[in-house]
Every structure is written in structure tokens, then in C-alpha cells.
Structure 1
Amino acid sequence: PPPFLFILFLSVSVSVPLKSVEVELEVRDHVATVVSTLNYENKEDKPLEAVFVFPLPGDAAVCHFSATIGQTQIVAEVKEKQEAREEYDDALSSGQQAFLLEESEQSPDIFSLSVGSLPPGESASIRLEYVTELAVQADDGLRFCLPAVLNPRYQPQGTETALQVPVTSVPASLVPYSLSFSARVSSPRPVSKVESNCSLDPLQYLNPEQTQATVKLAAGHKFDRDVELLIYYKDAHQPTAVVEAGQASAKPGTLMGDPVVMMSLYPEFPQAVMSSVASCGEFVFLLDRSGSMGQENRIGSARNTLLLLLKSLPMGCYFNIYSFGSSYQHIFPKSVEYSQKTMEEALKTVEEMGADLGGTEILNPLEHIYSQPCIPNQPRQLFVFTDGEVGNTKEVISLVKKNSGSHRCFSFGIGEGASSALINGLAKEGGGHAQFITGTDRMQPKVMQSLRFALQPAVVDISVTWDLPKGVSVTVLSPPITALFQGQRSLIYAQLTGESSKAAEGCVTVKYSLAGHPSQNQLHFSLKPAEDTGLTVHRLAARTLICSLEMEEKERRGEQDEGVKKKVVEVSVQSGVSSVFTAFIAVNKGDGEAVQGPLVRRNVPTSSDCPTILMSVSQTSLSHAFYILTFAPGTNSRSKRALVGSDWRINLTYMFLMAGTAPKQTPRDPLLQLVSLQKASGCWVLDPALAASLGKTSEEVENLKLASVNQEVWATILALIWLHGFKVDAQDEWQLLAMKAVSWLRCVEAGNALLGCNVQKDVLGL
């Protein structure tokens, strides 16, 4: 049927005082310092209060906030949150200019910036600085993400609101302010390359050794996606230690007054252990089926990924698949043994999954999964796929941490605007690994990398010991290491108290057990402080300590929580790093006249990741626009009536655009077609479907088969040759299922050769 059409007159706020955002990034090895300058101008005839809710990386340490009005600069202080809010309100009521920056109480990757009492014709420049660690990707690249997209977070009924002010999201084409972005990269090792999901100007090296380089966004960048940089160094897997001197004005014995060391460890595991793949485990897959997963056919990509995962599981393991939206479903009442029958039943259900379950409530299915008893000798591995539009982030992460002893959690953030706090928090507290899939990224290679991690033997009995000169003591600021993976970095922050000679050295030893083999890695380091590091390491260490204390406070809420909260505020104020219990406050207490007149609030919109079904017919200004809205076939009448009858504002476009619709069915690519035909045991069957997926006729395939080779062996050999011959560039995706096929071949051929028989596997009941 033809789509339903109607024209809607859309009224939008007439003024957006935020005019431009300028971002300067400095990367030193694997640490990033980001300086954002937000330029405001009031072109109205009344004084304004501008409120901007925007995303930041979830593990960022916000460490500086200042405002410049004319020639006057006001540097903000960190204060207890309620005290800061009251000071801000008092300033506005008395006609003073004030600026407030605070973190969401539910998710540490959302901040609210309030710019108060901006008089008519006045301009203000806001400077925001934060530092963050760069995560290592599966291909050894270091990932930096500048979040530009903030999708509204789904708030389950009965929970607290994430922020006091609403998130105002608009399609990227309507964001009325510009973004400029430049980066400087430096490292002890040469910079191999810098890649991005956005168009970049060519990389410019600053020295012959190629250890310093600059890069910036190409002209004409649209505010339609998160800006992602992947930075590659030569010989990146080198353990390092950076000792940073304390702040001269701070008291010795305090976090900011003492030196702090940042250890980057890359454990190398014995090759003999790493070449083996676990043949057991309970694999639980949790798939987001909220309406927003219908964008860019995310749900279709997730279905294809589940196909690869199910084909790659080892015989003898157990599995189950959950999906969730406003409610949740599971394919089996409890995890079942992996077999041809259970695999086929699961795949049939997966094929019918759409983005049709409404909101994003992940807590209930997680609680159900954790309520299921673990299967003896089958370590539980949880894979979570979500676009991260969750309002109760901290509650979800706390639940995963509470159950961290029973499983490992591997998380995948899908699409623009996925919450970094949620995705990284799930993996960190669940002892697993986090991946982000944005833009045109294929989901499958990253997910299969995590499956290889999950099939690695779990590292247990992890301990860290320090050997320091006499007179020097150590206070570890990081939580205990709970997971180690081959080639993946582990970070430790520690405070060093006491005096030592400049030539003194320390040593840290990480001991652990892997598949029953005791192992250890050591790193010797100089205690002499590095130069020109500022207080970056201290601020990252403070943020790490604050996050640990906040998690402890949430777990102990209702019993002695005030002591932990007091400690968080103390560390936050001392270090100048944001926390959930503090805020940055700046007040212009100059001699200028008080701002006169009633204050008008303007919520500054941020970019949302909306599908392009909004078609502009005429747009004369930002204040008024005509749109044609096209409903996809199958959109229910209730959704249409709700839209027509609502008092539309631009921040509510998301409610319509996120309505779950069935994704278009596209022809399956040849690789997935071949993979779909593989049996749970690892073999293929010689039939017309296999021949077609290989691009041959049944006669061509069968005529070349040797009489002494059984049909399944021949079919499996053909499939493996096709994979190696035509899809070697996608080897990361099919490597595990190919290993299973080779193992099957070896078993059948070896047995028949030994006994001189030609018995097929189905005869044996396998």
C-alpha cells in the first residue's frame, strides 16, 4: 500500500544562542586532553538563560570550566552540587551572570550547562576541558570519540529522572551551530596513521621521526555523527609507566600533593595456551529490540551477527538468546545444550526478530538472566547488544557488578549516540570487553573478536605487588583488576607517598593463573617524574577513584552512605574533577550593573541520530518550517493519531521517528548465505543450496567429487576453500566456524582412515 502522507506545520523555538563549538584535542600516547569552547550570543531583546544538555565520554575527567565575557574571565570552582545550584539561583535572582556545569545523576556521560543572565546583545565564551583514556580496539587502534549525538534516554517507569532539564534533540540537519575540530597526536613511538568516520584533511607530521602529527576535520563537516578517531602507533603493545609530580600548592600526603603513577600493562600469554579454544561455556546473548534499533537496519545487522555467533559456538556448550524493549523475551526457558536441533530453533526465531519491542528497559532481562543458576563447568559469558539509550545507566552497571563473580560481560554499543558510560561500564564491571559499532562499520568482525576473548580461558587469581625503595609507600587508586585478555591494556593508578632519590626505581608485578598455569609480568620504572604532563595523570587517577567511590556509595545506599559521599565530594573538590555529587559554579561578581528584566530560558538542541524520513518542503528560517511526514507501510493508526493530535515541538520529533518499523529485507550476502548452511557440528551438506551459494550447479559440484570421499567431507572442503579463496578479507568473521569445520574433518577422516571405513557422522548419531 502507498505510504500515508500529510503536511504538518511545525513551530520551533525562535532563538538558539549557542553559535559555535570549537574543539581542540591533544593526544599523548593513550591519554587525550580535550578543550571545547562554546560561543554564545544573545540576539534577542530580553536577557536569556541558555541550557545545553550534551554528551561526553563516560570515563572523562572534567577538570576545567571557565567563562569569558568581554575582557573578563571567570574560572569556575567545584562545589557540593546543592550548594552550587543555590549559588547559581541566587546569582540569577540578583541580576548577576552565572554559569553552572553538572553531571547527570543517572549517567556520567551526560552533562548540563546553564548559562545565566546573558543580556541582550551580549556574547559569552565557555571553555570546558576534560581528560580521558583511549581504549584499545581489536585491531590495536586507540579510539577517541567526540560525542556529537545525544539521543533521548529511555527512562523506565518508577525511576528518577536523569536530569532536571529535558534533553532537546533535533535531526542533525537542523542543528543551528557549527563544529570545528582539530587534533595533535604525540607518542614515544611513530604515529602510523589516523582514521576517522568523518572526512579529515591529510595527516601532517611535525618531525622526521613521525612521533608528532596534526589532523583536523575537513571543511563542510555536518553535525550528523559522533566524531571518531582511530590512532595507530608502531609497536603499540609496550608496557609503560608515567610518574607525575604532585601539585606544588597541595599538601604532601594528599592525592594532589603526592606523585601519582599511571601503569599501562599489556600481559602476554603463553602461545600454547592461547592456541587452544574452550569447548565449553554458557553463552547468553541479550539483544536490544527497541524502536531505535530499526534505524540504519541495526536490527538486521544484529540478526546476521547472531547467525555468525551461533555457527561459531563449540559443540558441548550451552546457550540462550534474550531480547528486550519495554518488555523482554527469551527463546528457551533456560540455557540449552548446543546441537543442530537447538541451533535451528534459535535461528528460526532470530530471523523473525524486529525492532518492535518499544522502549529500552535492560534491567529486567538482566535480573532474569542472573536469577538462573549457573551450569557446572560451563562458565557464563554474556553478550549485550544495544544502542545504549538507557536512562538508568548506573543502576544497570551496579547490577552487573553485583553479579560479576558469576560471569563475564561483553558489550556492544550500536550506532551514533550509544552511551559510552553504559557500554564501557558493563564490560568493566563484568570483567569483559567493550566494542562500539558506528557509521558503516560491520558489526561482525568486532563481535567475533569478543567471542575469541570469551573462548579464551579465564584469567584467575590476579594479584598486583609493588617493590619500592625504602621510605616510599603506595596507595592503589584503581579497583582490583578482574579481567586480563591477550593484547589488551590494563591501567593502574597509584599514589606514591614519601621521599626517594631521583635515580630510584620501582617495580610492579602482576601475577595470575591461566588454564592452570601460573604466570607473571613485571614492569620496572623510574620514580623520576616525567616533564610537561601538567596534572593529567592526577586528574585521571582522581576520576578513577571517584567512580569507584560512587559505585560503592550506590551499593551501600541507606547504610553509612554519607561517609562515602563525603569522601567523593572531598576528592572532587581537591582535584577539581567533576563527580555526581558536585558541580562547577562560576559567578561574575564584577561591578557591572545588574541584568534587568524577566529571564527567558532557551534549551539548546543537540544532534539526535534520527532516520531521514523527515522531508523539508520549505524552510524560511529556523523559527518556522513545513515538513512532509511519510509513514512507512504498517505504521499503526494510534501512532499517527498521537502525532497529529500532539502539540509538536522540535525536541519531540524523536518520539515519532523512533517508532519501530519492520526493516527492509535485503538479499543476504554470499558469505552469510554460506554460513547459514553450516551444521552445528561444523560440516556442510552437499545439496543444491550449497552449490548455489558457491556459484555452481549441483551437477558441477557432484561430478568432481571423488568416489572415495563422502558427501559431507566434500561439501565441507568446498566451503572452506571458498572461504579462503574468496573471503580472506573477512577472515575475522568466519575464522572460528572454519576451525570447527577443520576439527570435524580431522575427526571423520582420521577415524575412517584408521579403520578403512567410510562411515558418515549421522550414522554415528553425531
Structure 2
Amino acid sequence: MKITSLEPARCVPEPDAGIGALRTERGNLPLESVDVHATISGLVAGVEVAQGFRNPFDVTLEATYVFPLPDRAAVTAFRMEADDRVVEGVLKERGQARADYDRALREGRRAAIAEEDRPDVFTIRVGNILPGERVTVRLTLSQPLPYEDGAATFRFPLVVAPRYIPGEPIDGEPAGSGAAPDTDAVPDASRITPPVLLPGFPNPVRLSLSARIDAAGLELRELASSLHVVEEEGDIVRLRAGERLDRDFILRMSFAASTSLQFDGAGTFALFVVPPELEADRQPRDLVLLLDRSGSMAGWKMVAARRAAARIVDTLTPRDRFAVLAFDSVVEEAFEGLAEGSDRNRYRAVEHLARVDARGGTELLEPLRRAIGLLDGEQGRERVLVLVTDGQVGNEDHILELTGGALSAMRVHTVGIDRAVNAGFLSRLAGLGAGRSELVESEDRLDAAMEQIHRRIGAPMVTDLSLKDLDVEPGTVTRLGSIFPGVPLRVYGRCRGGSSVTVRGLASGAPWEERVPGTVADSPALRAVWARAHLRELEDRYAMGERELEREIVRVSLEHGVLCRFTAYVAVDSRPAAEGGPEHRVIQPVELPSGWETPAAPMAFGLTAMAGPAPGAIAPAVARMSSAGFDDLDVPDFLAGGAAGPRGPVSGRPAGMPRGPMSARPAPAPRATRGLDTVRVQLVAELDRLKALHAPNALYLADLGSRLAALSAYLGGHAELSALARELESAERPGTDPESLRQRAIEVLTALTGGPPPGNPGDARRPFWKRP
């Protein structure tokens, strides 16, 4: 694989900058600032995020930034501002949005695209930034605020933490530009593993964050920020200057809420029910506690996790049975099977927990399977699973697919311990079991968090919930779950009519109901929040194997204008700004989360996620250049300088990227066994060029035939490619119809690349972001 190196004069490594950092005479690159402005009204927040990019080079640039957003947030608008141009983004099916973006770059136009890779991990690419130019992209989103025990929490994540990437590396074009190779368990690992700066990098991204608070009729009693220093100016809370993007921003607002039902006037409703004051006879429990002891839990997180686990064990009674499993790449049990919750067994479990220390990788699937097996017991006992972890795994969908059905039949609670926790995945797990996801960002926060977990582990106050007197649209109501002590019920849905609702259920086996009158709220965020919650449920069902839901997910996303995993926002300038595509590409390095230890060599945990050059080395992900012709394509060596014009460099992993023993790619397969995926990117590029032809050209078609023949030879022979190549190579013969050949080539290449065949856009081979 040939790599084009950056010219030394173009950018100089910062001696102590760390993994992924570069310095030029004009400053760092490419992300310059992140500005977050939130407007909190009651229990809903509207947020605008502005990301400022700058090109310090003397060539055009494409910048990639992998960043988090709140997992419940609904992204409803996207805008690009450059020079004197303001371009509004359009929400499209993801494949179409990518095609529009790539085409715009080839034509020299500015463009930006926003994609969701996880419920809380997103990627923005901004292309054709001119030398010295600044470009701002803006995201608009709405999110509900969780409310427990008289307090609502506004949590805004600011960094994507490194994630453990299990599985074997796979061949083919990487899905993204990150530090980890794609694997069979995480086929898009390279999209969620941005390069990481060493702690204390002297020139961080400029961060500003403010929140305007409107209690919306509720009595605001107290404000508290747990991880950042803030300043108050009237009804605005502002982050102190100089704070870094290395931990979540968390603002807690204490006020009293009430039972309510809100309509937005367009058929969306939000129901909020506080728990009744009831005493319920609790069933005996079978409880399995899973404690993450992987390397990413080192330091204060391991101490807090042990304390949290011990507190959970202390809630058990002799009527209960329990098991304690500590896991990294292996699973260790405190004792065999389920043990009685006696004083002696609880003491043994706490003693075992005291010896647990951080090591290894986060192999979560096997302990979950073992816990499910332990909880597959007798009837009449409440089955509870509690997971204590930072959740930093990359194979979330794979885990949900293999365990989601079983987990939905038990109560699942998650305790996320980190300053940049994987909240999206932990809330998805808890949502499957109608449980609670509690996020602990510091040891000081642990006691308050565990008080809420203790109540949640107890029996629900009201079960078997249903709604009456409201004409709801089938399939639109979010999960009802159960009502637990101190934890209000929140339900979103769509309805055709009604002015009130009656919530029914069983409390201690006896019928219970409460009537809630409705009010009309002039809030566009209500519909967005419902759509995001509905989409998240559909996406979780998709991850668990219901693949036929893909069209429904796309339909809901486009109809309600809310970004999801199968759609993307794309903003394309109509005016050309450059000649051809970007000449340099870079992925923005991110901060190491606060409290994480500095990586040395590839770490024992998440080797692939943390692999990178030694301090002072040029970031691997930025050593990518392209020129005319095959822009950013992984062209086989023997095609270098081929028919498409001057060849840009290979877009695979650049030289200088060290790998741990778990992350090394296997040697190239023999030609006879190479799969079509290894040339799919080239075929897509050829297809785009064919579609863009204004008039069929016999010479171009013949040249295309020669390139396809070479690709077929590279694969060791491919019948369909070879046949199409022979047809196209005859384009210059007298009497040949070039337009028919062009249409024939479009049809074959569309089928080979997995694109939708003409007239049937739904039948497509799944691209990488849709693979389980």
C-alpha cells in the first residue's frame, strides 16, 4: 500500500502535543471552537451547537470531527456558514446524502454532512475549506431532561471516550478515518475512534457553553454543576473560560414538578406521572450484579464501581438470591451460581469486590449471557440485572442483537461511572428492561446516585400500565414500563384526539388509575422529542434483528425531520469554490477524558481504540492527501497512475500507525479469494461518473471497460465485471449504441455496489453503517 507523506514544510509536529496533534505557523487544525447555547424550559431543552473549523494550509481541506451529543437529543436542523454563504442542510436517506456530498466535493463546491454512528456519537465532515478560510456548522437539537426526586438534569457530553473494540479485523476499505480498524464485531470501528491528544495539550479547542433557564411555572430551588466551574448572570448559567472538552457538562436543577399531559396542537403528546404514595409488598428477587473491571475503569472509576457494587449487595435480604460477576476479557464469580442473600454471603461478596482491580478489555457479551443464564429461573421471583461500567464498548448493536430479547424479559439497571460515559448504550440496555440508567461522574456524586438505584432495584409501585380515554395512533407510544418510587413516568406518543388521559395499572395486585387533564403547549420541541424517542425504540428493535424496520425508521426520520442512523443532514453550496476535491484531509483529534490515564503503547484494554504514534509523530489519520482522479480511493497497486488520471494516495491506514497484537490486519488474501468489497469504493466512484455524464462517450466507455477488466483481474476473476468490461471495450466499434452501453453499465454497477436498482430504491445491499 503506497502512502503519500505530508511535506515537512507544510506542518511540523508539536514536540509535546500528543497523539493526533499538529501545529502549523497559523495554529492547530482543524477544529477551532465549539459553542453550545441551551435554552431550558421546564423539562425540555433546546440547544444550538456551533463548531468552528479553520484551514491553516495553503491547499483546500476536508475536516472530520467525531463528537458526542445527548443520547435522547433530536437533531432537527443543520447549517453551514462559509465566507458570505449560508447553506441550510437537508435531511436525506444516508446513502443519498453521502452521494450528494461526495459529488459536491468533486465539483469543487463547499459541502458539509452530519451523520449518526451511535445514539450519542456523531460525525461531521466539512469539505473544500479554502486556505485560511473559516467555516461554521450549526446543529439544532431538542432533548428531554430526566427528572428524579425533585431534580432535573441537563447533561451535555463533550468528548467521545476511547471504546474497547472486540473482534477480528476485516479486509476492505475502512468505514471511517479513526484509529481502530473495522472488525467483524464492530464493522464501523474506524468511525467511532478518533485519535486522542495527550493530557495537557497546550492549545485546546476554545469552548463556550451557556444555558438560559426558564422554570416554565415550576419552582426552581437550586442549581448545581458537578464537573465544571460556572458563573451565573440572571437566568443564564455560563461555563468559565478556559474549560476543556474532556468531560460532560452536567447541570442539576432542583424544582418541584407535577403530573401533566401536554399536546402540541399537531397530534403529539407528552405524559408525565409522579409516583403515587403506595406501599407495595415486594416479591423475592434473583439479582445478578455485573462489575466491569476492564482497563478503562482504572483509577477513581474502579474505586467508585466497587463502592457502588457493595451498596447494591447491601440492599439484599435473605429472601433474595444473588450472584456477583466481575469481568474484563474473562469472567470471575464471587461464588458459584445464585446464593442466598444472607449476611454471610453478602459479606463474602463485598470481600470479593474489595479485591477487584482494573485490567484487560471490556468483553461484555459473555458476562451478559452468563447473567441471563443465571436469571432463567423459577417463576414468582423478580429477575434483576445490574451492570456497573463505563460502557466504553464499540459493538453495541451486536450485543443488543444477541441479548436484547432475553434482557427485555427482566429488569435491567445500569450504573455508568465516568466523566464521559457511554450514556447512549447504557440507556438502551436499561430501556430494554424498563430499568434505570444512573450516571456517576465523580465519587462525590456516588452516594446520591446509589440512593436512587436502591429505590429502583426495589419492586415497582405500579405495573401493567395502559392508557385510556386517548385516541392514540398504534405503534407510536413509547414504552410504558412501570412506575417506581421516586421516579416519574414519562411517555410520548401521537394521538388523533382527546383532552385527557387515564393511566391504569396494578399496585400490589389491586387496580390503580389516575386521570390526567391535558393542556396545549406551543412547543415545536415536543414533536422532535417524541420522534427521537420513537426512532430510538425502532433502532433498538432493528439492532435486535428486526431488519424489516429499516424503511419505517427512514420514513419516520424524514417525515418528522429528525436525524437517525439511516439518514444524514447534508449542506451543499451551489457555487464552486475550488477546482476539484479537497487536496488534504484530516480527522480532528480529541481530548483524553478527564480522569483517564495517559496511554503508553497500545493499551491492554481497547488496543485498537488507542493505537497511535508516539508523542511528536504526525497523526496517522491526517496523513491523507488526494489529487485529481481517484479522490481518496483505495486503488490496487497495479492500477497506480491508471486510466482515471493522476492518482491520489491510498486512503487506508497511513504509515507510522503502530498496532497491538490484537489489532493487526491480516495479510492480503490470495487473489482468488478477494471479495468485491475490496474494490467497492472504486466501483461506486465509476458509477457516479457514469451517471454524471451529460452525453455518452464511446472512448470513455471503452476506457471504463479496461479499468473494470483490471479490477476483475485484481479480484482473481469476477464473472459479472469481466462480462461488463468486454461489452464496454466494444464501445468504439461501428454500429454500437453508446447510450445503451451506458445504461447497461449503470444497471450492473448499481447491482454490484449494493445501490437500489431502478424503480426499486428499497432493495439494496446494506452499506457498512447498516451492518449488525
Match of 1:243 among 244, 259, 263: 263
Q: CA deviation at 1:410?
A: 1.1
Aligned residue identity for 2:248 = D
- Name the CA shift for 1:38/1:451 in 2 (closer, same or farther; >3 Å): same
1:160 correspondence with 2:186 = yes
Contact 2:383 2:411 in 1 (8 A): yes
Paired with 1:603 and 1:228, the residues of 2 have a C-alpha distance of 27
Contact 1:325 1:361 in 2 (8 A): yes
Aligned residue identity for 2:421 = A
Alignment correspondent of 1:268: 276
Alignment correspondent of 1:744: none
- Name the CA shift for 1:323/1:467 in 2 (closer, same or farther; >3 Å): same
Aligned residue identity for 1:412 = V
Paired with 1:593 and 1:224, the residues of 2 have a C-alpha distance of 35
SS in 1 for 2:197: strand
Paired with 1:224 and 1:486, the residues of 2 have a C-alpha distance of 34
Q: How many residues align?
A: 585
Match of 1:555 among 540, 544, 558: 544
- Name the CA shift for 1:43/1:328 in 2 (closer, same or farther; >3 Å): same
Alignment correspondent of 1:170: 197
Aligned residue identity for 1:31 = V
1:519 correspondence with 2:547 = no
- Cα deviation, 1:453-482, whole Å, max 9, x if unaligned, reads 2223563322111246xxxx6556223312
Aligned residue identity for 2:468 = T
Structure 1 unaligned spans of 5+? 1-6, 206-212, 247-258, 499-504, 616-628, 660-766
Alignment correspondent of 1:225: 247
SS in 1 for 2:430: helix
SS in 2 for 1:607: coil
Match of 2:550 among 565, 590, 601: 565
Q: CA deviation at 1:310?
A: 2.6
Alignment correspondent of 1:709: none
Aligned residue identity for 2:163 = R
Matches within 5 A, 1:269-288: 269-270=277-278, 272-273=279-280, 278=282, 280-288=284-292
Match of 2:297 among 293, 296, 303: 293
Paired with 1:305 and 1:647, the residues of 2 have a C-alpha distance of 40
Paired with 1:644 and 1:114, the residues of 2 have a C-alpha distance of 23
Alignment correspondent of 1:371: 373
- Name the CA shift for 1:286/1:416 in 2 (closer, same or farther; >3 Å): same
1:530 correspondence with 2:521 = yes
- Decide which moves more: 514-523 or 170-179: 170-179
Q: CA deviation at 1:65?
A: 0.6
- Name the CA shift for 1:401/1:170 in 2 (closer, same or farther; >3 Å): same
Contact 1:33 1:131 in 2 (8 A): yes
Paired with 2:388 and 2:565, the residues of 1 have a C-alpha distance of 27
Alignment correspondent of 1:180: 208
Contact 2:165 2:189 in 1 (8 A): no
Structure 2 unaligned spans of 5+? 1-14, 168-183, 622-655, 663-772
Alignment correspondent of 1:141: 151
Match of 2:364 among 362, 365, 371: 362
- Cα deviation, 1:564-617, whole Å, max 9, x if unaligned, reads 211211211121111111111111112x443457521111122221547659xx
Paired with 2:596 and 2:455, the residues of 1 have a C-alpha distance of 36
- Name the CA shift for 1:395/1:9 in 2 (closer, same or farther; >3 Å): closer
- Name the CA shift for 1:292/1:651 in 2 (closer, same or farther; >3 Å): farther
Q: CA deviation at 1:333?
A: 2.9
Alignment correspondent of 1:539: 528
Q: CA deviation at 1:179?
A: 0.7
SS in 2 for 1:461: strand
Contact 2:163 2:392 in 1 (8 A): yes
Q: CA deviation at 1:452?
A: 2.4
TM-score (norm 2): 0.70
Q: CA deviation at 1:388?
A: 1.3
Q: CA deviation at 1:54?
A: 0.6
Paired with 1:631 and 1:148, the residues of 2 have a C-alpha distance of 24
Match of 2:129 among 115, 118, 141: 118
Aligned residue identity for 1:509 = T
Alignment correspondent of 1:196: 225
Q: CA deviation at 1:334?
A: 1.3
SS in 1 for 2:553: helix
1:386 correspondence with 2:392 = no
- Name the CA shift for 1:476/1:244 in 2 (closer, same or farther; >3 Å): farther
Aligned residue identity for 2:370 = H
Paired with 2:481 and 2:446, the residues of 1 have a C-alpha distance of 26
- Cα deviation, 1:17-54, whole Å, max 9, x if unaligned, reads 21111110011111111101111111111111000001
Alignment correspondent of 2:766: none
Contact 2:317 2:342 in 1 (8 A): no
Q: CA deviation at 1:543?
A: 1.3
Q: CA deviation at 1:110?
A: 0.5
Q: CA deviation at 1:170?
A: 2.2
Alignment correspondent of 1:31: 44
Paired with 1:192 and 1:399, the residues of 2 have a C-alpha distance of 45
- Name the CA shift for 1:649/1:464 in 2 (closer, same or farther; >3 Å): farther
Alignment correspondent of 1:600: 584
Paired with 1:332 and 1:494, the residues of 2 have a C-alpha distance of 45
Match of 2:69 among 56, 63, 78: 56
- Name the CA shift for 1:18/1:605 in 2 (closer, same or farther; >3 Å): same
Q: CA deviation at 1:517?
A: 2.2
SS in 1 for 2:200: helix
- Cα deviation, 1:107-128, whole Å, max 9, x if unaligned, reads 2110010000101021111111
SS in 2 for 1:403: helix
CA RMSD of aligned residues (A): 3.3
Alignment correspondent of 2:488: 489
- Decide which moves more: 160-169 or 516-525: 160-169
Q: CA deviation at 1:66?
A: 0.6
Contact 1:400 1:429 in 2 (8 A): no
- Name the CA shift for 1:98/1:643 in 2 (closer, same or farther; >3 Å): closer
Matches within 5 A, 1:299-314: 299-314=302-317
Aligned residue identity for 2:70 = P
1:509 correspondence with 2:537 = no
Aligned residue identity for 1:594 = A
Paired with 1:230 and 1:644, the residues of 2 have a C-alpha distance of 39
Aligned residue identity for 2:544 = E
Paired with 1:485 and 1:403, the residues of 2 have a C-alpha distance of 22
Q: CA deviation at 1:408?
A: 0.7
Paired with 2:350 and 2:514, the residues of 1 have a C-alpha distance of 43
- Name the CA shift for 1:319/1:613 in 2 (closer, same or farther; >3 Å): closer
Paired with 1:32 and 1:22, the residues of 2 have a C-alpha distance of 16
Paired with 1:549 and 1:312, the residues of 2 have a C-alpha distance of 35
SS in 1 for 2:444: coil
